Amino acid sequence: MPEEDWAEHSDLQTDDGSQALSEAQGLIQEGRTEEARMILEEVLSEDPGNVRALMSYALTFQRDGDT
């Protein structure tokens, strides 16, 4: 993934990560799982117990067929 793409999303983190999670879920729906994983990893680094982020992160691997 080009570095410029990640830079677009680096400001998406909010206190609870909800904006970042919404963006990641949109990327997952578009099949852009690597980009979604990068956002979700950022959310999870701030809040490792975030269940929505964990489930979305797992979904990226399922979508890629890495179950």
Q: What is the pLDDT of residues 6-40, one digit of tens each?
A: 445 555 544 567 899 999 999 999 999 999 999 99
At residue 17, the pLDDT reads 76
Token look-up 């793409």 returns: 5
3-state DSSP assignment of residue 33? helix
Return d(Cα 19, Cα 23) in angstroms, integer: 6
DSSP 17: S
Q: pTM for this one? A: 0.74
Helix, strand, coil abundance in the chain, percent, nearest 5: 70, 0, 30
Which value, to the nearest 10 degrees, does the dihedral of the CA atoms of residues 19, 41, 45, 57 take? Answer: 80
pLDDT of residue 51: 95
